[in-house]
Structure 1
Amino acid sequence: MSTYSEPGPIDAVIQGFDPTCRTIPLTAILPVRAIGKTVKTSHKYKQIAASIREIGLVEPPVVTPAARSPQIYLLLDGHLRVEVLRDLGAAEVECLISRDDEAFTYNKRINRLSPIQEQRMIAKAIERQVPKDKIARALDINVRSISRKMQMLDGICGEVTGLLKDKFCPLAVFDILRKMRPLRQIEASELMINANNFAVSYASAILTATPQSELVDAQTPKRLKGMTAEAIGRMERELARLQEATSSIQDTYGQDHLHLTVAKGYLGKLIGNERVARYLAQHQPEVLGEFRKIADMTSTLANEAA
């Protein structure tokens, strides 16, 4: 019979960062990776520079004291921000002090801002009466682009917004989806997500294969350069069959994957038996080879298992 014991004291939570930021001279900050020569000509670098010039530094860089020189700090995150500040002639920057010199998390686990998230951010800024020209300067885009981003979700149903909220879809994709009825928009979004393909060309192919009755303008026949009405009709039928097949696979994927995992483990134990392996090697070498391939699989995807 088990007896109750009092729980031991809870260890104090170790903080990963200092509770307050610290202002550090830029000359005392050493980057942990080099900035390529072409980076400063990239759109991302220009956008960061425009944002810092217009509204200042929003997110402080992350640094940690060097082990041998406490007055020197290693830059873990914010290389472009620090480089922009140097180019702008700044002498110091307010930094977040990390108590660990691990830089993998900052540089490998970054959630980029998707177009829908950016649209919502712009909408909130406009609601707070921030001038459009100021937003445009902060994002390094023209005012006309601000208006286009604000209209991006016009005619897009809420379900599609939820499906694509963290996907990197070009603005032109939403222009294509807007030509479809809501249910078809959802189907098209699911097709793009399943294929992990959000290219304008793929969305255009889905539009071309969409039945006329599922378009917003059902009276105007679809036209595509170089394609006849018969070819478009074949595309519609092929895409419908593909969508049915994809849905069927999704319904059974989890169960099939579980069965394959169990079978893989069983075959691994089976051929691990010396007597069984010897018998198969003598009488069924081809079967033994296939069993070993299955047992050695590290992924169910062909391109990863290779």
Structure 2
Amino acid sequence: MNRYVSPGVLKEVLQAFSSDTEVVDIHTILPVRAIGKTVKASHKYQQIACSIREIGIVEPPVVCRDKQRQGTYLLLDGHLRIEVLKELGETQVECLLALDDESFTYNKRISRLSAIQEQRMIAKAIERNVPKEKIAKALNINTRSLLRKAALVDGICDEVVALLKDKICPMATFDVLRKMLPIRQIEAAELLINANNYSVGYASAILAGTPQAQLVDTARPKRMKGMTAEALSRMESELAKLQQAINSIQDTYGQDHLYLTIARGYLAKLVGNPKIVKYLEKHHPEFLSEFKKIVEMTSTTGTD
């Protein structure tokens, strides 16, 4: 039974960070790791540098006071940002002040930006009349690539956009989906999600298995390197059977899972009854061993 705990005996919850940011001299910030030449040559570093040059610091670095040396700070998060500021000749930076030297910050488990989320961000900036050249520089890409990203969902139906909005899909995968009619795009997106595979190769395989009538350009025959027309036709048939099997499993999965859970609970009661166990041991020992295996299962998928 859970014991009631009075709120009065609980300790006060302390803040991990100061409520306000603080402007700190960069030379007083001590990094806890070195930034090598390889890191500085990376795309990520160059992208951060371009972003800071164009729009400044978006996310303040995280520092804490050095308890050993007064007037200095330990850098917990933001090493690349600080390094870029040093290269730009900046002397001060606005920082978030941590109240402990804990390096596990809110930034440690940040999610990567999906292609569709990035497209929406770019489209919103363009809609607000931000110059395309400025956006491209901030993202460290050329204007042509920016326009391609902005047009990512052109020709993609709304249902597919909703399905893939938080998935890390390559841009080329959307180019493949764009060749299909909307209903087939939805089926293809569901196949990608079920397989947890958003690669261009897998999307191209789905395209190869798509009937000609479900393509945008029905008059243009599909061509894939190293595959004959007969192989493409066979792939269409096999992919259709696979998709039918997946849909069938999805339709009955919830009901099947409920039945299995109920059956497992019933068998647990049987195995927990000494008289029944004694009877099974004497007359049907093979049943008893199987019943025990089912009861000991921690997952209805058959894996522990």
- Tell me the TM-score normalised to structure 2 length: 0.80
Q: How does 1:147-296 map to 2 (within 5 A)?
A: 147-257=147-257, 291=292, 295=296
Please say if residues 61 and 96 of structure 2, whose CA atoms lie closer than 8 Å, have aligned partners that are also in contact: yes
Which whole-Å CA distance do the structure 1 matches of 2:171 and 2:84 have between them? 28
Equivalent residue letter for 1:65: R
Matched-pair contact (CA < 8 Å) for 1:51–1:137? yes
Moved more, 243-252 or 42-51: 243-252
- Correspondence for 1:90: 90
Query: Structure 1 counterpart of 2:18, which letter?
Result: D
Tell me, in whole angstroms, the C-alpha distance in 2 between the residues paired with 1:295 and 1:26.
59
Partner of 2:26: 26
Distance in 2 (alpha carbons) for counterparts of 1:102 and 1:298: 37
Aligned length: 295
For the structure 1 residues 217 and 57, does the alpha-carbon distance in structure 2 shift closer, same or farther, using more than 3 Å as the test? same
1:197-230 alpha-carbon deviations (Å, 9 max, x no partner): 1111111111110011100111221111221111
Q: Is the 8 A contact 1:192 1:203 kept in 2?
A: yes
| Map of 2:4 onto structure 1 | none
Amino acid at match of 1:39: V
Measure the CA separation in 2 of the matches of 1:26 and 1:19. Answer: 21
Deviation at 1:256, TM superposition (A): 4.6
**Deviation of 1:183 (Å):** 0.6
Q: CA deviation at 1:242?
A: 1.3
Partner SS, residue 111 of structure 1: coil
Partner SS, residue 106 of structure 1: coil
Note the 1:97-136 alignment, pairs <5 A: 97-136=97-136
Deviation at residue 252 of structure 1 after TM alignment: 3.6
Q: Distance in 1 between matches of 2:38 and 2:11?
A: 48
Q: Which runs of 5 or more structure 1 residues have no equivalent in the other structure?
A: 1-6
* 1:295 counterpart letter in structure 2: E
Alpha-carbon distance, 1:240 to partner: 1.2
Give the distance between the partners of 2:254 and 2:97, measured in 1 at CA: 44
- For residues 219-263 of structure 1, the C-alpha deviation after alignment (integer angstroms, 9 at most, x for no partner) is 221111221111111111111111122222223434555666677
The 3-state SS of whatever aligns with 1:38 is helix
CA-based RMSD of the aligned residues comes to 3.6
Question: What does residue 59 of structure 2 align with?
Answer: 59
> Judging changes above 3 Å, is the alpha-carbon distance between structure 1 residues 36 and 234 closer, same or farther for their aligned structure 2 residues?
farther
Change (3 A) 1:147 1:101: same
What secondary structure sits across from 2:24 in the alignment?
strand
Shift of 1:64: 3.1
Q: TM-score, normalised by structure 1?
A: 0.80
Maintained 8 Å contact 2:271/2:291: no
Residues 65-74 or 226-235, more deviating = 65-74
Q: Which amino acid aligns with 2:28?
A: A
Question: Residue type matched to 1:250 in 2?
Answer: Q
- Give the letter for the 1:89 counterpart: G
Residue 268 to residue 228, structure 1, CA distance change in 2 (3 Å)? same
CA separation of 1:20 and 1:216: change in aligned 2, threshold 3 A:
same
**Quick one: structure 1 residues 233 and 158, their matched pair in 2 at CA, closer, same or farther if it must change by over 3 Å?**
same
Partner amino acid for 2:185?
Q
Structure 1 residues 250 and 40 mapped into 2: Cα distance closer, same or farther (>3 Å)? farther
Q: Deviations over 1:1-34 (max 9, x none)?
A: xxxxxx98x9987544322110122333344555
2-structure distance, mates of 1:45, 1:126: 25
Structure 2 CA distance for partners of 1:259 and 1:38, relative to 1, 3 Å: farther
Tell me the equivalent position of 1:47: 47
What are the ranges of 5 or more consecutive residues in structure 2 without an aligned counterpart? 1-6
Identity across matched positions, percent: 62
Bigger shift: residues 170-179 or 290-299:
290-299
Report the Cα distance in structure 1 between the residues aligned to 2:28 and 2:294, rounded to whole angstroms: 55
Matched position secondary structure for 1:153: coil
Aligned partner of 2:76 in structure 1 is 76
Counterpart-to-counterpart distance in 2, 1:218 and 1:57: 50
